[in-house]
Structure 1
């Protein structure tokens, strides 16, 4: 599994001074997406809607609104 490209603006483009420890989104070779964000599993797990669940190996990761909105233009429609 390899990263093909970044989706959206880089952390530096979004104003990160050092460009480190910032949320990011990447498209993978198989068409999946990888997200770097803050692990908020413990905080949000009990708030999931009744029709949502996660496996033990899955985490709830939070990214900033700006990260997702700036990625929107790079996300394919299909």
Structure 2
């Protein structure tokens, strides 16, 4: 996936400051990109979760498993397009 020309176009959901971030800056976050893909800021959890992936799931060497809080995703739901 070539991301060299992709740009963040908007945040999905509420900013960290509205979700209780102590610093109002760092926190899990979701963004829509100019190419239609999505970017996630979360906790890297590849080592812990990779062995537990379902048998019909896999990740490439360049992919990582990232965890975001339930609250972050629920607050973003209103901004995620249906199609």
Residue matched to 1:11: 16
1:41 and 2:69 equivalent? no
C-alpha distance in 2, partners of 1:20/1:45?
29
Per the normalisation by structure 2, the TM-score is 0.91
Q: CA RMSD in A?
A: 0.6
3-state DSSP class of the match of 1:25? strand
* Residue number among 64, 67, 74 corresponding to 1:69 in the alignment: 74
Stretches of structure 1 lacking an aligned partner (at least 5 in a row): none
Instruction: Please list every run of at least 4 consecutive aligned residues from structure 1 whose deviation after the TM superposition is greater than 6 angstroms.
Output: none
The one-character-per-residue Cα deviations of 1:6-55 (angstroms, maximum 9, x if unpaired) are 00001101011212331000000011000000000000000000000000
Stretches of structure 2 lacking an aligned partner (at least 5 in a row): 1-5
